[in-house]
Amino acid sequence: MSQQRSWIVKVILALAVLTFVGISLVPLISALNNNNTQTPPQNNASTQGNSASPDQKSKLQDEVRGYQLVLQREPENQTALKGLLQARLELLSIKEGDIQGVIEPLEKLAKLNPDQTEYAVLLAQAKQQLGDKEGAAQAYRSVLATKPGDLKALQGMVSLLLSQKRPEAAIGLLQDTLTAASQVNKIQPGSVDTVGVQVLLGTVHATQKSYTQAISVYDQAAKKDPKDFRPVLAKAMLFKQQGKVAEAKTLFNNASALAPAQYRDEINKAAQASPSPSPATSATPSPESGK
């Protein structure tokens, strides 16, 4: 649940820069690095910038070839698959290689680890960036079929629908998830983070400039769990975009007070950042677009 919460927080905070549809894809590299229990340690120097020394590039290319040799002998060797994926993602971070190179290892890892939905979500994101929207939708649906409350898959599917200019379908998906949440949570307690889904729903309304509906949904979420900072933060972001500076400042302060310590710096930065443009109604994902 902590990973789910972190994911939706990233979605909300990104509003300070681009608004929700502008971050229709959390970057592949960031998403993988956040999933640090599933992947080997990465070379931080190569993931933090857009350029690398010839030695760094050569090292990563050597790693790719090494993992490929292992996989020729052992096609399902997960250590090699994760290493290959990580190396190729790091090459992408320095503008080397292409997204197509991460598809095969992600497909294998998603198949070998059906309970670790991060791989399927990353696969969907990669396919979406390549323009394979149907493939992306299938990958998201494969997660939601067994884990209907998975916020990463929900956010990804909603983003995909918005990029296709289908906001009503996105809203319907989230409303259906909320309707089924009570029954789903009876079977598997805590599997649907209803506040997180409500925040996502409110943010979709905001992208469609349905501000009254967005605020209403945020207020419902805050009422459901008064100690959860996410709906307070989302409302603060929306007020800031609307130029309601004083109201936004109060909400940012409240969100910071409610939030766990690890989120406070990000919230404070968002509060101080310049307001972003008005929410757009569509966006086209790109390989460099940025719970």
What pLDDT does residue 15 have?
Answer: 39
Long-range Cβ contact pairs of 238-246 (< 8 A, separation 24 or more): 238/15, 238/206, 238/211, 238/214, 240/16, 240/271, 240/275, 241/15, 241/19, 241/275, 241/276, 241/278, 241/279, 242/211, 243/275
pLDDT of 48: 43
Q: What span, in angstroms and rounded, lies between the C-alpha atoms of 7 and 214?
A: 20
Q: Say which residues have a Cβ less than 8 Å from residue 279's Cβ, sequence separation at least 6.
A: 19, 20, 21, 206, 207, 208, 209, 241
User: Is residue 129, in this structure, part of any structural domain at all?
Assistant: no
CATH code of the domain in which 213 resides: 1.25.40.10
pLDDT score, position 275:
64
Decide if 76 is inside a domain: no
Residue 131 counted as domain residue: no
- Which residue would you say has higher pLDDT here, 242 or 13? 242
8 A C-beta contact, residue 116 and residue 38: yes
| Span 263-271, average pLDDT | 88
Domain-embedded: residue 3: yes
Specify the number of domains making up the chain.
Answer: 1
Q: Which two tokens stand for residue 42?
A: 């990465």
Residue type, 221: A
Dig out the tokens for 34 from the structure: 């956040």
Claim: this prediction has a pTM higher than 0.85:
no
Q: Is residue 134 part of a domain?
A: no
Q: Is residue 22 part of a domain?
A: yes
Q: Is residue 224 part of a domain?
A: yes
Q: Is 132 part of any domain? A: no
Q: What is the pLDDT of residue 120?
A: 92
Task: Report the distance separating Cα 143 and Cα 147, nearest Å.
Answer: 6
Domain that holds residue 283: 1-27+151-291
- Per-residue pLDDT band for 110 (boundaries 50, 70, 90) equals very high
